[in-house]
Structures are given as C-alpha cells and as structure tokens.
Structure 1
C-alpha cells in the first residue's frame, strides 16, 4: 500500500482522503509484506538447530549406518561368526600375488602357499611336496611345475621357480573371500565385528533404558520430596557408586557365570546413579516453580507432578546426560570383554576381538586395528550427538 502521509491533507482543513489509497494491494506487494519469521515451538527449534550442527548430523548418520551394519550385515555375509577354517587362519585383508604360468599364488608369513584367483579370491591351501630341513626350503607342485619357498634368511621368505630363479610379486590385491581377513582360527573378522556391533548396540539400549526408568524416577522422587527422603536415597546412591563395576561383574559371575548377562545385570544395578544425581538436581530447582504450586493447589498427586510436570521440563538435561553415558557403557562392555569378564567364546564382541588379537599383534596387527577403530568411531559418534543435543536443547541459544 502506498504511504498515505504524502497523499493526505489534514482532515481539519476539510480536504477529503484520496480514494486511491484504499485500493487493494498488488500481488507483488503482498508477497513482500508476507515475509516474516516463522514461529517455531521449542522442540521444532531444537530439531532445526540440531540439523544445522554438522558434527551432530555426522554422528547420527554413523549410528544409523552402524545399526544397519549390525542388523543387516550378518544376513548378507557368506560366513557365520563361529565358522572356523584353520586352512585360512590369519589371512590379511590385502596380500601380494605371484604368478606361475596361469596360476596365482600367495605366500603367507606362516610359510604357507595358497592358490588364488587374479582378483584375490582364495581357492585352497597347497600341500607341500617335500621339505629340505638343511637348506630350509619347501617344495610345492603347481600346474606349471615346482616352486620353492626359501626361508633360510631370518624374517624373509623368497619364492623361487624350479630353476632357482627368484619370483617377483605381480600385484597387490584385496582379499575377496574375507574382506577384513581372518583371526587365528580362520573365522571371518568382518562377520565377527558385525556381531560385536550387535552386542554394543544392545548394551547402549540397556544403558538408555536403565537411565530413563531407574535413574529418572529415583532422582525425581529424591529431588521432589527432599529432606530425610532425599538424604536416605542419596546415601544409597553414594554406597552404590563407590563400589567398582568390575567387582559387581565378578560377584554376579559367581552366580551366573561369565557372559553378556552378567554385564547387563551389572549395568542395570549401578549405571543409573549418575542419571539419578542429574535428575535430582533438576528437581530441586524446578519444584519451586509456580506451575508446581498450581498443580499442588488443585490436588495433583506427587507422582503425577513428577511424571507430568517436572520430568518433561528436565528432559533436555536428561537426554543430553543419557546420550553422554551411552558411549561410556559401550566402552565398559568392551573393557570387561577384553579382560575376560564379558561374552564367552565363540560369541564375538569388540572387546574379545581385541583380546584375541594381542597374541599376534606384531605379525597380524589388522586383527586389533579393525575392532579398535569400530569402538573409537562408535564412541565418537555418540559424543558428537551428545554435544549437538546439548547445544540444541540449551534455551539460551534459541534464536
């Protein structure tokens, strides 16, 4: 609409208002006038700010991929986590190939010769024809003639043809049969890492449920009632928290034996104490708000006040705390399995995979690298999500 000030003469002087000032706005003027900031609710604003956090979104994508990796991956794998093939033990994810005639051969560190395809698919472990202990040589028979493995030099393997000429590697290929290699028993490392991801996700879900159910209610009741109730309940929390988690697991193992169930019960017994402390602090500050007094005035029961009014208002801190505690729970499970207090063989866990890889870390370091990097990536992803939620849920950052 045009500015009426430039077209209107003072009404006191008896001049009429220009009728053209009351014409309808043009469409282009309407579009310009309609530009305004959209009003968002608190949770819509939280979602918007979380999506703008690149690190948090990266962490969320990694966790989604990890879930798909753990749930769908084993269904697509040609190997099971307990399947053993000692002929293909300690096979690396990449190796060098020799070509003898039309055959491709791989010489293993353990002085074993394998027949493969040109792309790196393992075919079979070749049987040695004879062994010369004096010259320290092994003789293998191939389609194109005999080949000799010379191991006379320390830490060096040389492949020769029947005339004694040294053969050179023709190319370096990926292991197409076992993409991440195998362990000391010939089990597929990729499949075992997939099953280890299932255990880590299970521990993450249990930690989240324990924090939400036990930690929230325990801390909410202690903070709301205060006084003697608060003192007694928090002293129980102090007693529970000072006893090491390892001792809980050992005591539970005496009754239930070693395994994932022992770790789950141990986490369920003690992992809620940090959440309880956080929720208690939130309750102590929120219970003095006016909406709580209004709820009391109309006769709302204490449990309803805690669940319907106080906990929803503290949900921001609860979600952030829960997200930060999940990677800690995953690390605890991996550590317990690493020291032998977790899942038992042949079940695969990232901690047990790291433990099994220690014996051959110098020769086959990839067996430790892959499960260790899986633990690191998972913990970093959850920490990214926790940091993103902490920033998104902070009302002081709302714009």
Structure 2
C-alpha cells in the first residue's frame, strides 16, 4: 500500500518565516512617525526654534533693549551710492544720509552742513567732496509717479544706485528706536515658547489629573466637577486678563496666570472621556479586585493608557497658546516695552507698515512657522499613536 502522506521537514516550515524583534507601542509609534515627512519637518523646525531662541542671543553683540536712534528703521536690504572708493551712502526713507561700507555695515549718521527745506536739499561734506541730497521731487510725485524720490549729487554729478547690499550690522533691520529686529524676534520666541511651556505644564498636571479623577469617580462627583469646568469656560480669556490686570500689573505673569486658569479645561474634558472608557476595561476591574486604591488605578492604569490622545492634544494646544499670547500682546495686554514679544513686535510695526513692511514680516513669519510646525507634528502624532493604523 502506497503511503500518500509525507511529514514535512521542520526546515521547510521555517525557511519562509520572517524573524524580527517585537516592537513596543512607543517604538512602533516612533517608527511610524519617522515615515511622516511633514511631521519630521515640524519636529526639526521646533528643535531649531528652541535652540535658536535659547542660544542665539548669546552670540549677538546686541540686546533686545539696546537703542541707537541714529540707525532707526534701517531695512535688511539697502541701496547704496558710491561717493569715493571707500565711502558709500545709504539714503534713509526719512531723507537722512548714513555712511556704510561696501559690504553693508552701518558706520555713521552724517550731519548735514546745510539744510534747505524750501529747496528740498541737504548738503554734506565727505572727504572734501560736496554731496547734495536733493529731495525736491517729493511734492511732485503725486502728479508724476515716474520721478525719483531723491537724487544724490556728488561734486555736481548725479550718482545712480551703485548696488544693493544686505545689512550686515542688523540682518533683520532695526525698528523705530534703532533696536536690532533679529534679537527682538529671538527674545519674542523665548516669551512665546515660555508661555507655551507653562500652558503645557498646566494642561498636563491639572487638566489630565482633574479629567482622570472625574471620569473614574463618575456619578455625582463627575457631574459637580464637570459643571465647575462649564462655569470656568463660560468666561472669556480676555476678561480673565483684564480682571487680573486690575489686581496685578500687566505683563507676562498676567498672561501666564490667565491661561493657567482656562487652558486646562479642554484637556480635562478629553481625559475624562478617555477615563470613562478605560475604567471599564478588564485590567482596571482586575486591579479593583485585588484591592488597588483609586489613586493607584488612576495613576498607573488609566492615565498611562490615555497618553496617546493626551500627547496629541498637548501638541495641538501649544500653537493655540502661542497665538493667544501673541494676540493679547498685539492688543496691548501682554508684555510691556522694552521687552519683545511677537505680538508686540507686530503691533509696533503697524504704524509704519507701508514704509517699513519688514518690521511686520519677520514676527508674522515667526508666528506662522512655529504654529505650522506644531500642527504638522500634532497631525503626525495623531496618526502614529492610533493603534488602529498600525501596519
């Protein structure tokens, strides 16, 4: 009788078997996050912003409060005129002559020998040469926009623009008081990131614990705790800031305190919803059966298993905190001069928006880039920490 059954060798069973190390939940989340290019771009951008804000001012010769009124409202890119082989002029929008180097380093504000406002002229002496700044066409510009706003005349010869150079002294230009915009934007990053950090800490330690306790206890305790949250959330943040300014002086402390009173509410609601779901799981019931205390169950079982939504929510709330601080500073309820915040920088730039648009451009770009980076990272974390998307 022929045997139709044959035992398969062990080697044949295992030759197509793929062996790999089992990944933990967080290792798998990091693996998936790395494959999201926008999220990694956001993470790298956030790290660079933090590093620049912390260490950038250490390598600058300027401070956020240093003023030089001679060099007020100097743009980051300048049109210079050649007077001699070593002397170059930049003509300010306010018709002031500033001596610069060929590379774009600011040197000196020149004092005119004679000013004739009736003729629209200012006369300077540079290394024995007579330099006339003629701005008499200003009154005619409305009728004839093709006219030049001013002319630079050296020893009777009209000079054209020699070239455009970047401002090597103040790479982002200066504000109306001659303060370096680059350093002020960096200090603004410090303030905005500090507010975001404080909001994150309050969210984590107040909102997470409050929401976890509320959801775990349930019943009447949950109802009372949620009604308290409803009461807090009905009062606008702006009203909190105004009320606190009556009690304490306006500034960064007021904003941090006001945001600390209100920003944890949304996190508490999120964690409460997670807690209501997780407390019905078998491992929580098993912990109750063996006599674990409520504190241990909340801290060791409920909150750790809700960390995915918590981290995502924290990441998405950080740009909201940054924007809120910038808005409050923009309307005058934030930090006061000479401190710099992105919101105050934007507010200060509004007066000269048409003439000096760069003063609004840089803080606006800083706010936009930071918020986009956190939003990209938050979107990536949401996908990476969702176990249903695991592949």
Instruction: Bin the TM-score by the shorter chain.
Output: over 0.9
Q: Could you tell me which of 86, 93, 103 is aligned with 1:119? A: 103
Distance in 1 (CA, whole Å) between partners of 2:15 and 2:81 is 73
In the TM superposition, 1:230-309 aligns within 5 A as: 230-309=222-301
Q: Is the 8 A contact 1:100 1:144 kept in 2?
A: no
Q: Could you tell me which of 106, 130, 134 is aligned with 2:114? A: 130
In the TM superposition, 1:203-222 aligns within 5 A as: 203-222=195-214
In the TM superposition, 1:63-212 aligns within 5 A as: 63-102=46-85, 103-154=87-138, 156-163=149-156, 165-212=157-204
TM-score normalized by structure 1? Answer: 0.91
Q: Is the 8 A contact 1:343 1:349 kept in 2?
A: yes
- CA drift at 1:39: 2.1
Where does structure 2 lack aligned partners over 5 or more consecutive residues? 142-148
Offset from partner CA, 1:98-124 (integer Å, 9 cap, x none)? 001221111111100011111000110
The runs of at least 4 aligned residues of structure 1 exceeding 4 Å deviation read: 9-12, 31-35
- CA drift at 1:234: 0.5
Offset from partner CA, 1:78-109 (integer Å, 9 cap, x none)? 10000000000000000011001221111111
Q: Structure 1 residues 330-339 or 142-151, which shifts more?
A: 142-151
Distance in 1 (CA, whole Å) between partners of 2:4 and 2:365 is 81
Q: Could you tell me which of 351, 359, 365 is aligned with 1:359? A: 351
Q: Is the 8 A contact 1:74 1:191 kept in 2?
A: yes
Distance in 1 (CA, whole Å) between partners of 2:4 and 2:107 is 101
Distance in 2 (CA, whole Å) between partners of 1:340 and 1:245 is 15
Distance in 2 (CA, whole Å) between partners of 1:146 and 1:107 is 16
Matched residues, number:
378
Q: Is the 8 A contact 1:101 1:144 kept in 2?
A: no
DSSP-derived class of the 2:323 partner: helix
Corresponding residue for 1:4? none
- CA drift at 1:134: 2.6
DSSP-derived class of the 1:81 partner: coil
- CA drift at 1:243: 0.5
DSSP-derived class of the 2:63 partner: coil
Distance in 1 (CA, whole Å) between partners of 2:244 and 2:120 is 53
Distance in 1 (CA, whole Å) between partners of 2:204 and 2:119 is 69
Distance in 2 (CA, whole Å) between partners of 1:318 and 1:109 is 51
Offset from partner CA, 1:222-280 (integer Å, 9 cap, x none)? 11111111111101101101101011011111111110000011111111000000001
Distance in 1 (CA, whole Å) between partners of 2:123 and 2:337 is 37
Does residue 371 (structure 1) correspond to residue 324 (structure 2)? The answer is no
TM-score normalized by structure 2? Answer: 0.93
Distance in 1 (CA, whole Å) between partners of 2:15 and 2:216 is 51
Q: Is the 8 A contact 1:87 1:125 kept in 2?
A: yes
DSSP-derived class of the 1:111 partner: coil
Q: Could you tell me which of 371, 377, 381 is aligned with 1:385? A: 377
- CA drift at 1:46: 0.1
In the TM superposition, 1:294-373 aligns within 5 A as: 294-373=286-365
DSSP-derived class of the 2:118 partner: coil
- CA drift at 1:38: 3.6
Offset from partner CA, 1:103-162 (integer Å, 9 cap, x none)? 111111110001111100011001101012331111111115011111111261211123
